[in-house]
Chain A
């Protein structure tokens, strides 16, 4: 030990300032001179005097080294003593050490992981120039009862805006598109976008290789060029630099690759657009939009997305006001487009920030998680503080003896702080490990609609925050007992019962800490309870369809441009699918439930008091769709094959909601409806089917009309079979290939998968909050149990007297339990009050359950009281088993 301490001292000397060394050399030299002077005065020759001086001085180097060692030893010595002492005392009470370190580690681990997540989702910069200045331009129409963020300005309107608006540094229009990429005989479908020449400059993104589109690329003749994403470059071209000389086959046409975008640039991501193409997760390829002049001036609703970058000195409100002015003018100037049947020319203006759209929806969730994890950390800190206080009180005697033996106060404070720092460092180390584990687990819960969740990693800043937090916590927790110990009056201590007096203040503090912790646990438990109830409610929603149906998506290319071709294709596909062994029915629909596509039509119902711009959802299905999805028939009949061929007086099927809204108190079967504003072409209702949850599980069904057709274009096909889904999926691929080898079945899911995807966000938040609440509960119980044990220890004497005076064991047991329940009930009361306020923030997360749900409140209360009593029972039983004689003797 001494040996390596010397080494440390020497190391320290190496780093020590040169000044001290020079000073020492000078002092030794002067000392020797003075000695030699003296010897000379006694009559020695200078030479002899010098030697004698050396002798009298002793070893110069030894003296110097001793000086150096002494110089650096003092602080090392004390630090090492403190450390060693701290480690020894900590290892002597492993119960305390393990509990404190684990508590802190759990708090820090959870906090670090959630901070990393939030950092990845909300804070870490996107691969674009300042995303805060990016905005989307929408033109909502008051006549259409749909969300405002569905419709962007038409091309014609957009180019008018671009010409006249002064608010933007750059503006771009693009369309999402799926491309079939053929490579070595296999065809896969990838997400892409057709973009104008300002797309990349608006985003302020530059390629990592090659170039983006120049102006002439967007002229039709040059339109066969493409920019690809980093991931596509890696997967298709093995990230080789010669990619720029190569081409890629999209939908059967060759595109020359001119650029590769950097990693992470996959705009638009699914979550980047408010109502994007649900089949496109992220964008891997960009090609020029290449509009002809006719398309450029079209005033009809398009599929375009309008993106712009605000000038740095323009606010969203100013931009919006300017856009409103321009839109009002063009609305007056141009008649309604003949393509947009029945929609009035009243396109409005709405400017919304890109970050608001892309991360706005997850912000409340992130805040919720931060709040929850913050509470967990607070509880952890409270627990550690409590443990330290209890320990300090138990050690009052030891500290008193130390003080009596002359230990300096500063030194004692340092000792206690060293100990709490050791706990803090331990908690930090274990906490980081826990955080890493937690981050590994998080993606397994990934609901798929939280942007960049998978990129969450422990970053240095988060790491530092965690370390700082933990050390601060343990320091604060260690400081209180340390100050208490240093303030201790020796005379008080020497009076026999001073120990109790000094811990009374501690005891009050400890009790309030427990009450506060319990209150926080109640808030977390209630929050988790409400979320669990909501989740159960969502899971038990009647979706209206079977989970077992296997679905896939087909999109037909330009080879199927004629309706007859499409009809033939789908008839053959359905017939072949239904001929497969085990298959009960197969049918297609243009937009599957729980995917984001939607189609709306204006509707007039014969014999109903029709209002202007009355809307219904519409679906085109092949006749056996209902059987394939197992959607129950309520009245009338399902479609027959003949229905799909009808050209006039087409039969339609409506859902229950439609029947309720438009056929109140009358039989809808045989009723007539039309989507034709001239009311020439009517359809007849032949059946009513059960409501289906289309938009989301949590939204009430809307009126919906089904039309039968085999001319399905791009469609989703549902297949119901008695075979397992994987086998069905294989058969689907084989069947599709036998009809057309160039078509690919994409998005193969069971409807159960889609439900699971739809509830993933809820599962994510519910499981996280439940885990946090569980951790918090356990921590609080550990704290409570610890406090009870401590108070039993402190009251051994008192209990002994009580028992000597005739108290029964049962009385003692009840006494301790009563003490515990007072704390629990106080905490519960406070917690319920906080919950009353806090759950208001939870409101948007709840489904089918009130924010003050009595069931949850009662459950949480019962759970807490039962657990609290259980935690207090062990120490209480120990108190009850105290032998009165021994207890009275121990003092």
Chain B
């Protein structure tokens, strides 16, 4: 079943992707997200654009134009130092949150 992206988590996922895989273009990021989620993520590839803008505006990523291996024109996003810091914080938050939710759900059962 395709799952909806939880509000605010897309940013985290993109940051994580960039941190692990190095500079990526939007297509690459979208592909990676789909791949990791085993295509469970119902993601129109265009929907990651707002998140990309937001991250760039926060100064967490930096975009620059380059060439793919197939010599195609593409905009590559690189994670910045601030982005790495934000990634740590967001990850921590997510863990706590997931923890709380997990505990709650465990108690319910």
Contacts and interface: CB of A to CB of B under 8 A. Distances in A.
Contacts of A74: 54, 57
- With most chain B CB atoms within 10 A of its CB, the pick from A28, A59, A70 is A70
A62 B57 CA distance: 20
Interface residues of B, number: 23
The SS class assigned to the B binding surface is helix
A406 to B, nearest CB: 9
B26 interface: yes
A34 B74 contact: yes
A313 interface: no
A26 B25 contact: no
A272 interface: no
B53 A35 contact: no
Interface stretch (B12-20, B40-48, B96-104): B40-48
Contacts of B74: 27, 30-31, 34
Contact of B75 (A27, A64, A70): A27
A753 interface: no
Given A38-B31, A69-B50, 17 more contacts: A30-B27, A30-B72, A30-B74, A31-B45, A31-B74, A33-B73, A35-B45, A37-B72, A56-B45, A57-B44, A57-B45, A57-B46, A58-B44, A63-B44, A66-B50, A67-B53, A70-B50
Interface in B38-94: 44-47, 49-54, 57, 65, 68, 70, 72-75
Interface in A18-45: 23-24, 26-31, 33-35, 37-38
A60 B46 contact: yes
B47 A58 contact: yes
A500 interface: no
B53 A71 contact: yes
Interface of B: 25-28, 31, 44-47, 49-54, 57, 65, 68, 70, 72-75
Nearest to A55: B44
B27 to A, nearest CB: 4
Contacts of B47: 58, 63, 66
B42 to A, nearest CB: 11
B50 to A, nearest CB: 4
Contacts of A64: 49
Contacts of A71: 53, 57
A60 B45 CA distance: 10
Nearest to A24: B49
A29 B72 CA distance: 10
B26 A31 contact: yes
Contacts of B54: 70, 74
Nearest to A41: B70
Given A30-B72, A30-B73, A71-B57, A63 B27 contact: no
Nearest to A62: B46
B68 A63 contact: no
Contact of A30 (B44, B46, B50, B75): B75
Contact of B49 (A26, A34, A37, A66): A66
7 contacts: A30-B27, A34-B68, A35-B45, A57-B44, A63-B44, A64-B49, A70-B54
Given A30-B25, A31-B25, A37-B70, A67 B75 contact: no
A35 B27 contact: yes
B45 A23 contact: no
A34 B74 CA distance: 9
A303 to B, nearest CB: 79
A660 to B, nearest CB: 90
In order of increasing CB-CB distance, the 9 nearest A-B pairs are: A63-B46, A58-B44, A70-B50, A34-B27, A67-B49, A58-B46, A70-B53, A30-B74, A27-B75
Nearest to B45: A57
Nearest to A71: B53
Contact of A67 (B27, B31, B50): B50
Contacts of A34: 25, 27-28, 68, 72, 74
Interface string A111-135: 0000000000000000000000000
A26 to B, nearest CB: 7
Contacts of A63: 44, 46-47, 49
Contacts of A27: 26, 74-75
Nearest to A74: B57
A59 B25 CA distance: 19
Contacts of A69: 50
Nearest to B44: A58
A37 B27 CA distance: 11
A29 B27 CA distance: 11
Contacts of A38: 31
A67 B50 CA distance: 5
Contacts of A60: 46
A74 B74 CA distance: 25
Contacts of B27: 30-31, 34-35
Nearest to A53: B45
Given A30-B25, A34-B27, A66 B72 contact: no
B34 to A, nearest CB: 9
A20 to B, nearest CB: 9
Contacts of A28: 46
Contacts of A70: 49-51, 53-54
Contacts of B53: 67, 70-71
A70 B47 CA distance: 11
A66 B57 contact: no
A34 B70 CA distance: 9
